[in-house]
Amino acid sequence: MDKIDDQLRALALPFDKGFLEMPARAFWLRAEASPHFTGWSGQLECQQGFRPAFDRLQAAGFKAVERLAGGYPLGLCLLTKHKGESRALIAQGLDQLAPGGVLVCCGANASGAASLEKEAAKRFGLLGTLSKHQCRVFWLEKAEAADWLAEGAPRPVAETALVARAGCFSPDHVDRGSRLLAAHLPAGLSGRVADLGAGWGYLSAEILSRFDAVTGVDLYEAEAMALDDARTNLAAFGERASYHWIDVCAGLPEVAPYDWIVSNPPFHEGAKADPAIGQAFITAAWKAIRRRGKFLLVANQHLPYEAELRRRFREVELVTVADGFKIYLSTNRHDR
């Protein structure tokens, strides 16, 4: 969270220095709970599609919303490492402003913020800029930006009939881990299935299209826009697919136990690898699977998941090791 904190401190600078004032009503795109903004928590409407961050905002007393209402005099925007997503965020922010409104953007230098600032200056003109905490902050007045907004639209994924958008995990191709897991789905896959960390739905689409004995797949995903793309990608399967916007690390809701669970879990939030995320996915799967259910997990080869799998399940089989990944098949869970 250190780099995010640097961004948050930098984003607050124009207000701390008196260059800008926070109005009675404003919005914040890709908002994060931060002590630098708690004094304005009642004035900010915070749009955040990443469920863990959404939950942190609510817990800290911020007003987290799924949709913005428009007509704001001021907006804040945290830029991401994905240039297409950041351009689309800037365009969305400009569209939400009232005439004469101001959008304040902040991004890390390491994520290309300086380059994006130059592009924004050329495309729209800037009202002001600051550089601090290895970040760039710039603000601009309401303008039309349909071309930048289009960069956030879903686009075809190479070698598939599916779509995904900038900001999702691996939006332009199927990642190697998911492709490997899809190639090793066993012939007996059937019944009720859960896909933990489903992304834009590649694994679920493979399961639903190849296994008629699967009665339904529940997709659990923390990123709302990825889940929106999954809805598009799996629309043809109708009620066989269900969608759940949740943080798997916080646990699944109470559901009837699953026959099968598949997962290609994320292994970092931000830039730092965190094996605890995958371990939390294993715990969530263990709690949600039926006693003799089966759990298929693909993970980067270096991640230490086997001990946690053996702690939760009686039988753990290493199915394959290839392309820097490993697949485990775990069955017969231990009692709680």
pLDDT at 67 over 70: yes
- pTM of model > 0.75: yes
pLDDT at 144 over 80: yes
Question: 268 or 132: whose pLDDT is higher?
Answer: 132
Kindly state the average pLDDT of the residues 2-6: 78
Binned at pLDDT 50, 70 and 90, residue 274 comes out as: confident
Q: What are phi and psi of 167, to 5 degrees?
A: 105, -25
**Residue in 108, 105, 42, 113 with CA at minimum distance from that of residue 83:** 113
Q: Residue 185: left if φ>0, alpha if ψ -120 to 50, beta else—which one?
A: beta
Kindly state the average pLDDT of the residues 61-73: 92
Q: 27: which DSSP letter?
A: E
Rounded distance between C-alpha atoms, residue 49 and residue 228, angstroms? 11
Q: Poorest-confidence range of 189-193, 263-267, 311-315?
A: 263-267
Average pLDDT, the chain: 94
For position 1, what pLDDT does the model report?
44
- Helix, strand or coil for residue 28? strand
Q: Poorest-confidence range of 170-184, 227-241, 264-278?
A: 264-278
- In three-state form (DSSP H/G/I as H, E/B as E, the rest C), the secondary structure along 231-242 is HHHCHHHHHHEE
- Residue 10: both structure tokens together: 């930098």
Rounded distance between C-alpha atoms, residue 39 and residue 41, angstroms? 6
Give 84-124 pLDDT, tens digit per residue.
999 999 999 999 999 999 999 999 999 999 999 999 999 99
For position 227, what pLDDT does the model report?
97
Give 50-60 pLDDT, tens digit per residue.
999 999 999 99
Binned at pLDDT 50, 70 and 90, residue 4 comes out as: confident
**Burial class of residue 316, CB neighbours in 10 A (0-12, 13-18, 19+):** buried
| End-to-end Cα, the chain, rounded Å | 33
Kindly state the average pLDDT of the residues 260-271: 80
Q: Poorest-confidence range of 196-200, 242-246, 266-270?
A: 266-270
pLDDT at 322 over 80: yes
**Residue in 118, 149, 153 with CA at minimum distance from that of residue 136:** 118
Q: What percent of the chain lies above the pLDDT cut of 70?
A: 97
For position 268, what pLDDT does the model report?
54
Kindly state the average pLDDT of the residues 138-156: 96
Question: 268 or 264: whose pLDDT is higher?
Answer: 264
AA identity, residue 156: P
For position 272, what pLDDT does the model report?
59
Binned at pLDDT 50, 70 and 90, residue 333 comes out as: confident
Question: 127 or 188: whose pLDDT is higher?
Answer: 127
Which residue ranges form the domains of the chain, and what is each CATH number?
2-151 (3.40.50.150), 154-333 (3.40.50.150)
AA identity, residue 333: R
For position 66, what pLDDT does the model report?
76
Rounded distance between C-alpha atoms, residue 124 and residue 313, angstroms? 57
Residue partners of 34: CB distance under 8 A and separation at least 6: 5, 8
For position 336, what pLDDT does the model report?
61
Alpha helices, DSSP H, located in 35-157: 51-59, 83-96, 113-123, 146-149
Residue 89: in which H helix or E strand, if any?
helix 83-96
For position 269, what pLDDT does the model report?
54
